[in-house]
Structure formats: structure tokens, C-alpha cells
Chains A and B, each alone.
Chain A
């Protein structure tokens, strides 16, 4: 039987993968993917907990997150294209222009 803890573990693993991706990857596009993974990890957790408590609020919240993530990607990808056109690369090590 698959219980709440399985879902939460999956969610935790996904979140960790996303976090490592955010910390370690150097390509901005990859960073976006990693952020999406973290968001969806949260969605999984929300849906699971919501089902566990028989309370629809959590699932509603998951929909909100999906909507926000979609709009974020729409804006974010547009920005990435502009950045790529301007610098010819999306590697963060090459984009450092504000060194203190």
C-alpha cells in the first residue's frame, strides 16, 4: 500500500534533486529546469497531504503553483532568449558582470 510517507519521500527527493541542480548547474536553462522540479516537488507534497486530510485547499494551492510556474516560465524563457541574443551564451561563469 502506498501511503503518505511515500509521496512525501518522493517529494523530498525531487526537491533535493532540484536544489542540487540550482546550486551546481551553470547553464541558466538548466537552472530553470531545476526550479521547475522543486516547484513540482512541492506540488506533489501538497496534493498528497491534501488527499490525506480530505481537504481540497492543498490541491487548490497546487493549481495555483502550476499557474504561477507557467507564467514564470513564459516570462523567464523570453528573458533567456534576450540574454542569449545579447551574450551568445547562457553559462553563468561567463555572464558575471557585476563583480564587487
Chain B
């Protein structure tokens, strides 16, 4: 089985290096094809491992080599394939295989086609290192690796100009890439602190050693580690208040949004909490876990509210990603780790599908993203319409599609834990989710053909791209039916979470309630937008609409109270400290040398006699020095 571990892990790396060989040359189709084949190989290997683990095989540990050995610190380059990591591996490699194939079509006209595949495969490799590592150091390396790839890919079109918000509400890709990278650095600092705290107190970074030591640690240390690690997770999973980068990250190419900023990388935070479940399920840190649940619920609601009014197709989906990540954290915080992982997997399928569908629309609309300028696209893009419809139904949580089962399980968990406020918020959010996802579908595909006045002639995506998307559509439809077997599979490793008897009796009422809320959300969306766009000036000018449209003014707040003062302080430091002290000192040294050199240059006359005289002077000086030192000494 060991060889499958290596195949799964290194096939994307080979793919990345292969594509990088052609990085500077013009578009070569075979690069995309070979990259996709290698990713498919990685998926096959992951699936083989999954079936091996599912059949009751023991978790596989491989240690490739000793990696870092310094004093007592021993970090092997080790990988672990167990129930949790194999689930992640299958999800990651499946979605990335589809996205690779999709990209062959989507990036068709891009001159940096080969470079794109190199980055995309490098991302998959980093993500696999992240999920497969058997220690925190490897996890962190993967964590940073996906961060770098995310930066490279958000800023893939780095040459695009920054335009003012009046022309286009988006910002430039290079700005967005930097924002994502810097926000993640802030969170990663906390995560490193958490890892250090654990190492300091347990003497190891291996998961099994650390988790075995946990019961012997103080409450204060456990709480610090739990909080610090969760801050790291908040950055990667874009939880409030570090959420602003995710919507801006939509500046990247759409396959990137589908793979990195919806299906895989942003779920790394949830994965971390699930992986560290022995820590988060301890009684000593129950407050932290409850905070995670509460924050998750808040973000679910908060992000969904911003999605209600947004006009940018990709940003709406980005907000919904944020919202669904909130659901996952809510489940993980309440101790239902397997439900969080189940929602993570189900969400990866339908959200990737939704993004890829949005990519098709973008391709057809010549990069126009404003849904107010679309409408009636279902005539020209029937397949995409179905795909996005399926994904939206799954997202809205209508049975029997995937989202219903996973999201409903989370909402039930909130009820079961007796956290009624969280439950109410999650139910309301489910309704909002249904509304915004169908608002987007109806505005894009139904009603009047608003795009015509902009002279756009939409066309459907290539056939092979549509075929490549079908596995995701299938999974978005049927993934929910595997809930039972998934629970049985995963709870061999993760703590089981069962609803109480009381909840069990009410389960049909609870599910029914959520369903009613979701359906009424869809109905409301149909009523408002089903037959074309009717602008409601009064509503759009209302305070709440403006508040939501401006994302609660949080980006403004950050710009005004963090970025601007920081820029001012930097400017001051530059002018006063850097220029007047540091630079001045360095310049002064250089000036002294230059000046003295210029003055003593005249000594060099080329006349040997003069040199001998100077030698005499030097000799006398040395004599004097020798005499003085003799007298003093």
C-alpha cells in the first residue's frame, strides 16, 4: 500500500515540474492533458487507499526520511493515511482532476496556459502534504505551500490594471493576491505560536505523541494552544474578522476559485480543527470549542446576508463558501467532527460545480460578472444551466441532494446541543442560502435577455469540459445517500456523534422546518427575480441594503483604521527613522571613505621617490607608536 501513498502524493508534483518545464513557452495542449492524467493517477491511488482503509485496513504510516534533527527536536518527513486524511485526499484529488480538465477548456485562450497548470498542480501537491502529514511541522509546510500557490494563482493575471470602483467593483488581481497572503500571514503567526506551545509542553510535533500527552497538560496551556491553532484556521478558512480576502480572491481565474477558494484550501482550517479533535474535545477547552461554534454560526449568517444583495456572480458564490465554512465550524465546535467532515466533502462537490458553472457563464459573457447584466442564458447554455441548478439545489439543501443531508445534520446538531440561538440562526441562514443561490440562478438564466444591449453573444462551453463536470454533478446529487456509511467509516477514527433520543423523535419536524424555510427562500427568489429583473429603488436605497452591499463597511473600516494608519506610520518611519538615521549612518560611512580616498589620492604621484618618503613617514610613525607603547606598557 505504501507505493500508492507515494503515487498519490508525488504525481501532482511531477505534473507541476513537468508543466513548469514549458512555463515560458507558448500554449501547449499536451501539458494540460498530461497534468490532468497525472492528477487522475493521483485520484486513482487515493481511491485505492480509501477502499483499503474502508475494508478495515490499518492506517498507513510511511516515513520517507529524517527531515529535521536538532538537539531533542526530531521531525521526520512522515505521512499518515488514515480515515480522515484519506477522505480529504479523495475529495482533493477528485475535485482537482475535474478542475484540471476544465482548465484545458477554460484557459484555452490564455498565453500563460502552461504556467497555470504548473501552479495548479503545485497547489494540489501542497494540499496533499497538508492533509497527509503525520506531524504539525509537515502540516505547516503544506499550509504555507497552499498559501503561496494561492497567492500565485489569485495574482495569475497580475498584469491587469487596477480600475476604480465606479467602473468595476473588483480590484486588481495583484492587490487581491497580496491581501490574501498578508491576511494569512497574520493568522499563521498565531498558528505557529500554537505549534510552539504544543512542542514546548509535549516535546514532540507528531500528532500521536502530542495527543497522547494532552491529558497531562494544564488548562491554561491547552486553552492557549487551542486558541492559537484556531486563529490559524480562521485565517485559512476566512472566518470573521479575517474574511475579507476570500471575496477579493475571486480576481483569480475561475478554476482557481473552484479548486482553492471553495473546495479545498479554505477547508484546511476545518480540517485542522477536525485533525486536532482530541484537543478541541477536551473539557478544559470547551469554552474555546463553543466559541468556534458560535463564530461559525455568526459567519454563516453574516456571509449569507452579504450574498443577498451582491451583484457579482463569483462573489455571491464566495460569500456562500464563507457561509458554508461557518456551518462546518459550527459542527466542529459542537463536537460533531464527522458531520463537519461530511459537509466539507459534500460542499466541495457542489461548490466546485457551482464555480465551474460560473466559469462557463463568465466565458460566455466575455468576463462580465454582473448578474444584473445577464438573464435568459438558459436558452444558449442549457447544460451549464442544469449544472448550476443542480449545484444550487444542493447548496440550498433540498432533498435528496447532498447539501440537504450534510447541512441538516449540522442544524440538528445545534438543536441537539440545546444551543437554541445557534440553531435559530442556522435555520434562518438556510433560508437565506436558498434565496441568494436561486436569486443568482434566476437572474443569470431566466427572464429577459439583458445582455443583448451590451452586444454579447453567449455560447456554450466545449463539450469535453461539460462532460468533465459531470462527476461533480453526480456527486452533488447523490453524495447525501452515503451519510450512513460515511459515518460508520469515519467514526472508527473520529469520535462518534449521535443525536439524543429526544432529537431523534423530532428529526422529521426539524428537517421539515429547514426544508420549508429553504423552499420559501427559493419561492421568494422566484417571485422577485423569476421573470426578469425589476429594480426596486426604494429597497436598494434603504440603509440595510446599502450596509450589506458595502459588506458592513468592513473593508472600508480596515482600509481606514488599519491600512491607512499603518501606511502613515510606515511613511513616518521611512522619512524619519530610515532616511535620517539608518540611511544617514550608512551614507556617512561611505562619504568618509570617499572623501578620505579623494584627498589621499594625491599621494599617488607615480614618483618612486615620493613613495619612499611616505614610507619613511610611516616608519617614523610606527617608531613613535612603538616608543609610546613601550613607555605606557
Question: B484 within 8 Å of A by Cβ?
Answer: no
Chain A proximity of B420: nearest CB distance (Å): 90
Q: Which residues of A contact B605 (CB under 8 A)?
A: 96, 99-100
Q: Which residues of A contact B607 (CB under 8 A)?
A: 92-93, 95-96
Q: Is B606 a contact of A99 with CB atoms below 8 Å?
A: yes
Q: Which residues of A contact B612 (CB under 8 A)?
A: 22-23, 31
Q: Which residues of B contact A28 (CB under 8 A)?
A: 608
User: Which B residues, 298 to 352, have Cβ-Cβ distances below 8 Å to chain A?
Assistant: none
Question: B534 within 8 Å of A by Cβ?
Answer: no
Question: B601 within 8 Å of A by Cβ?
Answer: yes
Question: A6 within 8 Å of B by Cβ?
Answer: no
A97 to B607, CA, bound (A): 8
Chain A proximity of B615: nearest CB distance (Å): 9
Question: A69 within 8 Å of B by Cβ?
Answer: no
Q: Which residues of A contact B609 (CB under 8 A)?
A: 23, 25-26, 92-93
Question: A98 within 8 Å of B by Cβ?
Answer: yes
A22 to B613, CA, bound (A): 8
User: Which B residues, 586 to 609, have Cβ-Cβ distances below 8 Å to chain A?
Assistant: 601-609
A25 to B610, CA, bound (A): 11
Q: Is A92 a contact of B601 with CB atoms below 8 Å?
A: no
Most A CB within 10 A of own CB, among B604, B608, B616: B608
Chain A proximity of B168: nearest CB distance (Å): 63
A7 to B575, CA, bound (A): 70
Chain A proximity of B480: nearest CB distance (Å): 87
Question: A19 within 8 Å of B by Cβ?
Answer: yes
Q: Which residues of B contact A25 (CB under 8 A)?
A: 609
Of A19, A95, A100, the residue contacting B608 (CB under 8 A) is A95
Q: Is A23 a contact of B613 with CB atoms below 8 Å?
A: yes
A100 to B603, CA, bound (A): 8
Q: Which residues of A contact B602 (CB under 8 A)?
A: 100
A99 to B608, CA, bound (A): 10
> Which single residue of chain A is at the shortest CB-CB distance from B617?
A23
> Which single residue of chain B is at the shortest CB-CB distance from A92?
B609
A30 to B1, CA, bound (A): 92
A97 to B603, CA, bound (A): 14
A94 to B60, CA, bound (A): 88
A93 to B606, CA, bound (A): 9
Q: Is A97 a contact of B616 with CB atoms below 8 Å?
A: no
A97 to B604, CA, bound (A): 11
Q: Is A96 a contact of B616 with CB atoms below 8 Å?
A: no
User: Which B residues, 610 to 629, have Cβ-Cβ distances below 8 Å to chain A?
Assistant: 612-613, 616
A96 to B603, CA, bound (A): 13
Q: Which residues of B contact A100 (CB under 8 A)?
A: 601-606
Instruction: Render A21-53 as a binary contact track against B, CB cut-off 8 A, 1 for contact.
Output: 011011010010000000000000000000000
Q: Which residues of B contact A95 (CB under 8 A)?
A: 607-608
A92 to B602, CA, bound (A): 17
Most A CB within 10 A of own CB, among B601, B603, B605: B605
Q: Which residues of A contact B603 (CB under 8 A)?
A: 100
Q: Which residues of B contact A22 (CB under 8 A)?
A: 612, 616
Q: Is B606 a contact of A97 with CB atoms below 8 Å?
A: yes
A19 to B602, CA, bound (A): 24
Q: Is B606 a contact of A96 with CB atoms below 8 Å?
A: yes
A13 to B279, CA, bound (A): 92
A25 to B616, CA, bound (A): 14
A19 to B609, CA, bound (A): 12
Q: Is A19 a contact of B606 with CB atoms below 8 Å?
A: no
> Which single residue of chain A is at the shortest CB-CB distance from B601?
A100
Q: Which residues of B contact A93 (CB under 8 A)?
A: 607, 609
A31 to B610, CA, bound (A): 13
> Which single residue of chain A is at the shortest CB-CB distance from B604?
A100
Most A CB within 10 A of own CB, among B602, B609, B616: B609
Chain A proximity of B54: nearest CB distance (Å): 83
> Which single residue of chain B is at the shortest CB-CB distance from A26?
B609
> Which single residue of chain B is at the shortest CB-CB distance from A34?
B612
Chain A proximity of B131: nearest CB distance (Å): 67
A70 to B37, CA, bound (A): 85
> Which single residue of chain B is at the shortest CB-CB distance from A95?
B608
Chain A proximity of B619: nearest CB distance (Å): 9
Chain B proximity of A77: nearest CB distance (Å): 17
A98 to B609, CA, bound (A): 13
A26 to B613, CA, bound (A): 11
Contact status of A92 and B604, CB under 8 A, knowing A19-B616, A23-B613, A23-B616: no
A78 to B264, CA, bound (A): 84
A28 to B607, CA, bound (A): 12
User: Which B residues, 545 to 604, have Cβ-Cβ distances below 8 Å to chain A?
Assistant: 601-604
A19 to B612, CA, bound (A): 10
A37 to B542, CA, bound (A): 107
Contact status of A92 and B616, CB under 8 A, knowing A100-B601, A100-B603: no
Most A CB within 10 A of own CB, among B604, B606, B613, B616: B606
A22 to B609, CA, bound (A): 8
Chain A proximity of B138: nearest CB distance (Å): 61
> Which single residue of chain A is at the shortest CB-CB distance from B609?
A92
A26 to B612, CA, bound (A): 11
A31 to B609, CA, bound (A): 9
> Which single residue of chain B is at the shortest CB-CB distance from A28?
B608
A97 to B608, CA, bound (A): 10
A92 to B607, CA, bound (A): 6
A25 to B607, CA, bound (A): 12
A98 to B601, CA, bound (A): 12
Instruction: Render A71-100 as a binary contact track against B, CB cut-off 8 A, 1 for contact.
Output: 000000000000000000000110111111
Q: Which residues of B contact A26 (CB under 8 A)?
A: 609
User: Which B residues, 478 to 509, have Cβ-Cβ distances below 8 Å to chain A?
Assistant: none
Q: Is B608 a contact of A92 with CB atoms below 8 Å?
A: yes
Q: Which residues of B contact A99 (CB under 8 A)?
A: 604-606
Chain B proximity of A83: nearest CB distance (Å): 11
> Which single residue of chain A is at the shortest CB-CB distance from B616?
A23
Chain A proximity of B616: nearest CB distance (Å): 5
Chain B proximity of A17: nearest CB distance (Å): 14
Can you identify 21 A-B contacts, CB atoms within 8 angstroms?
Answer: A23-B609, A26-B609, A31-B612, A92-B607, A92-B608, A92-B609, A93-B607, A93-B609, A95-B607, A96-B605, A96-B608, A97-B606, A98-B604, A98-B606, A99-B604, A99-B605, A99-B606, A100-B601, A100-B603, A100-B605, A100-B606
Known: A28-B608, A95-B608, A100-B606. 6 other contacts (CB 8 A): A25-B609, A92-B607, A92-B609, A96-B608, A98-B604, A99-B604
Nearest 5 A-B pairs (CB), nearest first? A100-B604, A96-B606, A99-B606, A98-B606, A96-B607
